[in-house]
Amino acid sequence: MSFWDSFAPGLSEEPPRRVIVSTRTLRLAIEDTLIYGFTRAALEVVLPDELNLTWAGTGTPVEAETKRSLIDGYLVGFEIPQLVALARRVLAECDVADHGLAVLIAEYEKDSSGVDSPAKNLIFAATGPKPEMVLRDAVSNDILITKNAEFCLVYDRPITEAGLSFQELIQWWREREAMTDKDDRDVGLSLHQRLRASLGKNEPEQMVLDVYSRRYKEHGFGIPALIPQVYLHYDPYTRYQRKGNSPLKRQRMDFLLLFSARKRVVIEVDGRQHYANEDGRANTQLYAEMVTEDRRLRLSGYEVYRFGGKEFESPDAPSMLAAFFDELSSRMK
């Protein structure tokens, strides 16, 4: 026997197949797990009632010819974060044998970048004085707004692995404003007007919100919501009380997108106040504070994108923003 013959068994073995996490592999694993776990009649109940999925296929669920086409009709428009979130729910809530979901979830978590800590306490769209709040339960990080609550919005529902869609905000707003007799379009318009009010007379920020909102008409309300004026940090004291020396240099983000629980995108529109004094002279200290905070956010897992105020003076600014959001959405899939 030659020297190389001793290696023959090892050389002839196929290398382990790489696990690929994609919309295709996740859909197939979800479909197979549900197909082998439930009868057709059971799926017609499990999908809408137990997994709370919404039918988006052609025709009606009853018209779906196979179990696979029935499931597909409930997964229209789902991207990787939404599919991973559903996969977790299927394994946790359904009494079924796993057909590849656990492996895909583990691979997704291994390769995923982003923010590790869960999203909580979403306070946004303030139209007046800064809210005053206390920690109601420091162990659970539950807060209570004690003053100026009427000027801000607080999303008080759990944010899932799939992030936060405009559809979820619409449902929350419908119940908050007692608009149960209104359809999604009317509720969404009411919510948009309230979000826009938080931007005051800032025309560049209004343009960002308006351009993104057109995507709801094109792609539906199931896409991530663009949330304005989100409190990222909170200093209980005012700038005056701190004598202008707050340890938190940036308390609010201009805009936040939650593509998933981990994939969070911050969008900032830089006016002159970000890098200059009131008299227009450059202020290197302001600029240093801005880039320092950007680094901290990126190291925490956020993605940060900045627009210069000058960009919004061009008549092509809306087209530029639309192209940016297209590319960003494609990158986050």
Distance CA 267, CA 302 (A): 10
Residue whose tokens read 């690929």? 20
pLDDT value at 176 more than 50: yes
* DSSP structure string for 89-154: HHHHHS----SSHHHHHHHHHHH--S--SPP--EEE---SSPPEEEEEETTTTEEEEEE-GGGSEE
* DSSP structure string for 286-327: HHHHHHHHHHHHHHTT-EEEEEEGGGGGSTTHHHHHHHHHHH
Element (H, E) at 155: strand 153-155
Break the chain into its structural domains and give their ranges. 23-111, 122-332
Query: For residues 159 and 128, is the Cβ–Cβ distance under 8 A?
Result: no
pLDDT recorded at residue 119:
65
User: What is the percentage of the chain residues whose pLDDT exceeds 90?
Assistant: 50
Spatial CA neighbour of 239 closest among 231, 250, 228, 229? 250
Maximum CA extent, the chain: 87
Element (H, E) at 195: helix 184-197
Q: Which of 1-15, 45-59, 71-85, 149-163 shows the lowest mean pLDDT across its residues?
A: 1-15
pLDDT recorded at residue 5:
45
pLDDT recorded at residue 4:
38
Element (H, E) at 174: helix 166-176
pLDDT recorded at residue 161:
76
Mean pLDDT of 251-263: 87
pLDDT value at 250 more than 70: no
* DSSP structure string for 223-281: SBPEEEEEE-S--SS-TTTTTT--S-S--EEEEEEESSSS-EEEEEEE-GGGTB-TTS-
Q: Which tokens in the block code for residue 319?
A: 């087209």
Spatial CA neighbour of 53 closest among 72, 36, 40? 72
Spatial CA neighbour of 74 closest among 60, 89, 85? 60
pLDDT recorded at residue 248:
45
pLDDT recorded at residue 299:
82
Distance CA 232, CA 264 (A): 12
pLDDT recorded at residue 1:
44
pLDDT recorded at residue 287:
78
pLDDT recorded at residue 276:
57
Q: Which of 203-212, 274-283, 284-293 shows the lowest mean pLDDT across its residues?
A: 274-283
